[in-house]
Chains A and B, each alone.
Chain A
Amino acid sequence: MALDPLVAGVPTPAITHDSTAYSTPLVSVAEDTTFFVRNMEFFYGDFHALTGVSLDIHGGAITALIGPSGCGKSTFLRCLNRMNDLIAGTKIEGSVLFGGADIYGSGVDPVDLRRRVGMIFQQPNPFPQSIYDNVAFGPRLQGIRKKSELDAIVEDSLKRANLWKEVKDILGRNGLAISGGQQQRLCIARVLAVEPDVLLMDEPCSAIDPTSVQKIEDLMAEIKDEVTTIIVTHNMQQAARVSDYTSFFLQEVAGEPAVLVESGKTNDIFTTPLDKRTEDYITGRFG
């Protein structure tokens, strides 16, 4: 999957990246790498939340982030579209390259970044307006006004989110008036309507009904060629079912920063983990 550089003039891949916080020598980024994270440190005020995270996210695939509560996987996820910028007192060090460009570099507008790296949250969060307006929200922000064009985007996005059949006759109904699982798929449709390159999902299935979970897992598989997906999940079966790659985060001592213990192909992580801690977690010895 080819990505346009986020900032004009920044070479792709960024072999000449010169962040000072950056110590590992940077070799050329693999062709299918969407996110290239090196030596990330993350702080909430005085609290050091993540340390030494280095990870490649493969494009056109689904990556699952697993680990016990409080292990920083959601924090890591929010670093990828600079959502943490919205939380006061946070600080990040290290490198996060997206399409070869440092997303924390000067000249990067987080608003542009978030248009390309969409996000779904644990709690479905439709806006208090009609289903149609919810999906059309993003395209309208980008200045699309033509009714026929918006109609097409809304229909297409709802279809991709596996929701069209259920709502095609009630597009004028308030987005908060449908079931929780439908709301979550509405939120997915809303994100897909801005045609992001990447979809970040923060425990998207933990608050909804099993039927909707099934539909969301189906749609993730259907769109993964076009939309690289990174999903945080507490559900080991879900990680094993849907993902191609898995990364295991762990905070070993309370109050200490969490680390990325191991990452690799989902099949390998679940059958032959290299690290004892990964094995313990997967076989349910803690967490």
Chain B
Amino acid sequence: MREMFAEDRERLKELGVGAMDKSARSQARQARRVRERLANSAALTVLLIAAGITVAALAVIILYVLIHGAPSISPRFIFTWPHGVNAEGGIWPTIVSTIYVTALAMLIATPIAVLAAVYLAEYARQGRIVTIIRFAADSLASVPSIVMGLFGLAFFVDAFHLPMSMLAAALALALLMLPIIMRATEEAIRAVPRYIRWGSYGLGATKWQTVSKVVLPWAMPRIITGLVLAMGRAIGETAVVFYTMGMAINMPLTPLDSGRSMAVHLYMLAVDGINLKAAYGTALMLMIIILVLNSLAHLIQRRYRKVR
């Protein structure tokens, strides 16, 4: 990089002094080319720095958690129950609770969000109502999760008399995930090229046949990206589940059982510094689980994408 700059600078010098024999026009052109090349190098440098910061931030976070968390991780830590004041021992019930509630929330949110997106993108008359729905979804996506937790408590637990449970938490989480999945699916459907739909209509397919057999499979990789984003949001969610499924260490069997998620456990461990080591261990486990689920999603995505 520095060599490039040096070379350019030298060229500029050369042009300034020793280029009298060249015509003025070609000189100006030469100078412009040098300026352009300088600007190009400068832009590249800035972009590289920006990209570098992004990668570095991720690397530092992962390294930090890895260094502090790795010593706590053992089969014992993963597969046994906590004991003492719930600060010692393992975290197994919190892992199960976390996966349980996230899966349940996905099951609730995905069909509703995808069908709503299909309606918005394919069937609804594009106009003010659709714009309003879209704006509402975007606003819903930016509601602070603590507010969503409070609402979940007031609505599902107090008003609907659900116990503090997997189900109540999953419903509240689903509210959080709905707009994310819906908007991603809608964008994915809109990105399906017109000629692909026409290919299907040209074979005498009805609208629903076209949507279900051609448009959705085509959009699937992007829809899965949306699902992964939503899942990531839900799995690490603390405030919502704290309000709606409680913090009791419990092994959930039915959806009406309560439990403590990993994120809540992490919070409890860290809040008074009762066991920071275990907190980092839990954090690392949470990251590993998210990584595994993301990789799984990518595998499914690859199957849909194949050659695209």
Residues of A within 8 A of B (CB): 81, 83, 86, 88, 111-112, 114-116, 118-123, 125-129, 137-138, 141-142, 174, 176-177, 187, 190-191, 194
B214 within 8 A of partner (CB): yes
CB within 8 Å for A141 and B209 given contacts A83-B202, A115-B204: yes
**B304: chain A residues within 8 A (beta carbon):** 128
Is B162 in the interface zone, CB < 8 Å from A? Answer: no
Is A81 a contact of B202 with CB atoms below 8 Å? Answer: yes
**A128-B308, A174-B307, A176-B307 are known contacts. Are A194 and B203 too (CB-CB below 8 A)?**
yes
| Residues B274-297 near A (CB distance < 8 A) | none
Complex partner residue of B217 from A88, A125, A128, A190, CB under 8 angstroms: A128
A118 to B196, CA, bound (A): 14
CA distance A174 to B205 in the complex (A): 21
Closest chain-B Cβ to A263's Cβ sits at a distance in Å of 24
The 5 closest A-B pairs by CB, nearest first: A115-B204, A119-B202, A125-B199, A138-B203, A177-B307
B interface residues, Cβ below 8 angstroms from A = 126, 193, 195-206, 209, 213-214, 217-218, 304, 306-308
Given contacts A111-B204, A118-B203, A137-B213, 11 further A-B contacts (CB under 8 A): A83-B202, A111-B205, A111-B206, A118-B202, A120-B202, A122-B195, A125-B198, A127-B199, A138-B204, A176-B306, A190-B203
Instruction: Give B220's nearest chain A residue, CB to CB.
Output: A128
- Minimum distance in angstroms from B6 CB to a CB of chain A: 46
- Cβ contacts under 8 Å, B206 to chain A: 111
Would A141 and B205 be within 8 Å (CB), given that A128-B217, A177-B306 are in contact? yes
28 pairs, CB–CB < 8 Å, chain A vs chain B: A83-B202, A86-B201, A111-B205, A114-B201, A115-B203, A116-B204, A119-B202, A120-B202, A121-B195, A121-B199, A121-B202, A122-B195, A125-B199, A126-B199, A127-B199, A127-B217, A128-B217, A129-B217, A137-B205, A141-B204, A142-B204, A174-B306, A174-B307, A176-B306, A176-B308, A177-B307, A194-B203, A194-B204
Q: Which residues of B contact A187 (CB under 8 A)?
A: 199
User: Chain B nearest CB: distance from A172 CB in Å?
Assistant: 12
Minimum distance in angstroms from A140 CB to a CB of chain B: 9
A191 touches B202 (CB 8 A): yes
A137 to B199, CA, bound (A): 11
Q: Is the CB of A127 within 8 A of B218?
A: yes
C-alpha spacing A114/B201, complex, angstroms: 7
Query: Cβ of B218: which chain A residues have Cβ within 8 Å of it?
Result: 127-128
Point out the residues of chain B lying under 8 angstroms from A115, CB to CB: 203-204
Query: Could you say which of B196, B201, B203, B213 has the most chain A C-beta atoms within 10 Å of its C-beta?
Result: B203
- Chain B residues within 8 Å of A118, by CB: 202-203
Measured in the bound complex, the distance between the Cα atoms of B201 and A190 in whole Å is 12
Tell me if B198 and A128 are in contact (CB < 8 A).
no
